[in-house]
Structure 1
Amino acid sequence: MPLTRSLGTRALITGASAGIGREFAWQLAEAGLDLVLVARDKQRLDALAEELHEAHDVAVEVLPADLLTTPGIKAVEARVAASVNRIDVLVNNAGFGLRKPFDENDVDDELGMLRILVEVPLRLTHAALSHLLPAGEGVIINIASVAGFTPRGTYSAAKAWLLSFSRWANLVYKPRGVTVTAVAPGFVRTEFHQRLGGPLEHRIPDPLWLAAPDVVRVALRDARRGKAVTIPSLRYKAIVVAAKLVPDALAERLGRIGR
């Protein structure tokens, strides 16, 4: 197994219209990969596709889909599993959080978040493996979070699942040529936190904010190296180590800062 692997020729990115997903699109296009962009907003996807094609002369497919719906998931599953214009790199990036505590949220909202953060990556990974394993090569990148290392509610629990799933899948499938990497950033300056509402920029110390280009650059580097988990920041690596030494009750109280 080489230290650094090729990323192939075509990548599919969920949640591609903004934030980390958009940055993956730009960096993968710069690397010469054709793209399939998935998100709900077709207008934003079309605009991004045109920009990427003009800047890097790559082919860009647009696949508008609402991953909270069964038809949306099925459409993306079918594209990931397609043997024509095969997907070599899958980036499971789509996601959202809920601002209120678990007991104050509508249970359907909680189930929707669970679907996006757990069911969708599971289904798309399964679909991708159907052709990546026979080909003996491929890269799957799952966007997790450092929240997955601490007790911080259902969002944290879902990201913990994604971390565990990615570690297991990388152990099992890397010897067969397919690597699975979980990316665990902390606070990243994207629309994700704006959608949650509240002035997080004023509550979170500036050194804890990461830039999306840096997160994606490290993620792609470590995915090429076949790492199971990457934490794209020395400060967050230290936080994860410290979190293992802090009692759960204290970790939960500290975690409320980011809600």
Structure 2
Amino acid sequence: MRALNLSKKAIFFVGFYQCFNPLIQLGNSYYNYHFNEASKGHNNYKRLQDRYGRVDNEDKPVALITGASEGIGREFALELAKSGFDIVIASRSQEKLDNAAEIIRAEVKGANVKSLPIDFAHSQPEDIRKFFDQATEGNQNLRILVNNVGIIKRNRFLETDPQILNDMILINVFAQVYMTKYFQSYIKKQTDALNTRIRIQRNQRYAMIHLSSILSEFKMTKQCLYSSTKRFNAVFSNLTGFWSSRGSKFYTERGAQCLSQVDNIFVMPGRTSTAMNNFQKGKYISLPNETAEGSLRDLGFRRYTYGSILHSQQGNLLKMMPDSLTHLRMAKEGKQVDEPTAQKQ
């Protein structure tokens, strides 16, 4: 009887947590957006520089952003340039990269922007390693990696071209996996020369930002593979960054304590006005700069974010909807979208 009562209490508390956790998370987002002065505007630029900037006589810190020729990726690059980082941007088109670099330099005087073209859809692991080495050549002080590159195709699974399915897996999944692996290896190499005490005293920190999507949690009938790859992005980010804020014992035992000093966050934006969404406008659609700004405000505070406060409201409230209603809503919305070609970042 006692065991039965304990089980009932456990079920009650688990259910209570599942019901109210979205409201708690929404409250945290609301507080961070409206009341946390440390994460607002220039205060956040200074916070990012203090947390991930140069230590002692190191070179200026560098941020590497994939899929940065436009949209959310370019806004991340712009915000990090405003925070005092040198920028490395990567995408398929050199022309679009050059245009993005000019936009950043025009808005941030003295910004140092390096552009490197790469097509992740046609890159093997060794190609990505060479690209990463090129991005970090000259002993650059790489501190932040933004895994933003992605492709979306809105169509029913059986009607989607196999090549597009293949590209979506390579770009949305493989790029994140190998860029993360090479960045973590880079961090280990950079910190292996320092003993534990010096590393902690210097407060040397790194950050990884992974772009997922609100569709990693909610369904749309025409985006089954895209939603699956975005779910992978979220799970992969969560697991590779699990020990980031949990001390160093785990990694000390495995010879990679440096990874305990990496802030890890995955971003789940909803519909955003970018080329991937044909620059749609509407009351439920955020701007790319809102996603980038909101994500960087949450970096170092949270493990995941929806980016903008609008998408945080959508995401957390949708969690409280029954699965049947969520599915009906997303299915109805998906039927209204008919995009003939895939869009890449």
Asked if 1:26 corresponds to 2:66, the answer is no
Q: 1:50 aligns with which of 72, 91, 102?
A: 102
What amino acid sits opposite 2:315 in the alignment? V
Asked if 1:160 corresponds to 2:231, the answer is yes
TM-score (norm 2): 0.66
Question: Take 1:64 and 1:34, find their aligned partners in 2: how far apart are those partners?
Answer: 17
> Which segment drifts farther, 106-115 or 19-28?
106-115
Shift of 1:160: 1.2
TM-score (norm 1): 0.85
What amino acid sits opposite 1:232 in the alignment? G
Q: 1:238 to 1:46 in 2, by over 3 A?
A: closer
What amino acid sits opposite 2:64 in the alignment? L
Q: 2:216 aligns with which of 132, 139, 148?
A: 148
Segments of 5+ residues of structure 2 without an aligned counterpart are 1-38, 40-46, 54-60, 192-203, 248-259, 338-345
Q: Secondary structure at the match of 1:220?
A: helix
How many residues are treated as equivalent by the alignment? 249
Question: Take 1:65 and 1:183, find their aligned partners in 2: how far apart are those partners?
Answer: 23
Residue 113 of structure 1 corresponds to: 168
Q: 2:147 aligns with which of 92, 98, 102?
A: 92
Shift of 1:240: 2.8
Asked if 1:173 corresponds to 2:244, the answer is yes
Q: Secondary structure at the match of 1:17?
A: coil
Residue 231 of structure 1 corresponds to: 306
Q: Secondary structure at the match of 2:283?
A: helix
Q: 1:122 to 1:81 in 2, by over 3 A?
A: farther
Shift of 1:83: 7.1
Percent of matched pairs sharing the same residue = 27
What amino acid sits opposite 1:7 in the alignment? Y
Residue 64 of structure 1 corresponds to: 117
Q: 1:18 to 1:51 in 2, by over 3 A?
A: closer
Cα pair 2:286 2:311 within 8 Å, conserved: no
Q: 2:290 aligns with which of 196, 214, 221?
A: 214
Question: Take 1:27 and 1:97, find their aligned partners in 2: how far apart are those partners?
Answer: 24
Question: Take 1:124 and 1:155, find their aligned partners in 2: how far apart are those partners?
Answer: 19
Q: 1:7 aligns with which of 46, 52, 61?
A: 52
Q: Secondary structure at the match of 1:36?
A: strand
Shift of 1:234: 4.0
Q: Secondary structure at the match of 1:171?
A: coil
What amino acid sits opposite 1:113 in the alignment? M
Question: Take 1:50 and 1:235, find their aligned partners in 2: how far apart are those partners?
Answer: 30
Q: 1:40 aligns with which of 84, 87, 92?
A: 92
Cα pair 1:29 1:56 within 8 Å, conserved: no
Shift of 1:222: 1.1
Question: Take 1:112 and 1:32, find their aligned partners in 2: how far apart are those partners?
Answer: 34
What amino acid sits opposite 1:151 in the alignment? K
Q: Secondary structure at the match of 2:151?
A: coil
Q: 1:29 to 1:57 in 2, by over 3 A?
A: same
Question: Take 1:42 and 1:156, find their aligned partners in 2: how far apart are those partners?
Answer: 29
How big is the alpha-carbon RMSD for the aligned residues of Structure 1 and Structure 2?
2.5
Please give the per-residue CA displacement for 1:209-247, whole angstroms capped at 9, x wherever unaligned.
111111111111111x24210112444334333433444
What amino acid sits opposite 1:84 in the alignment? N
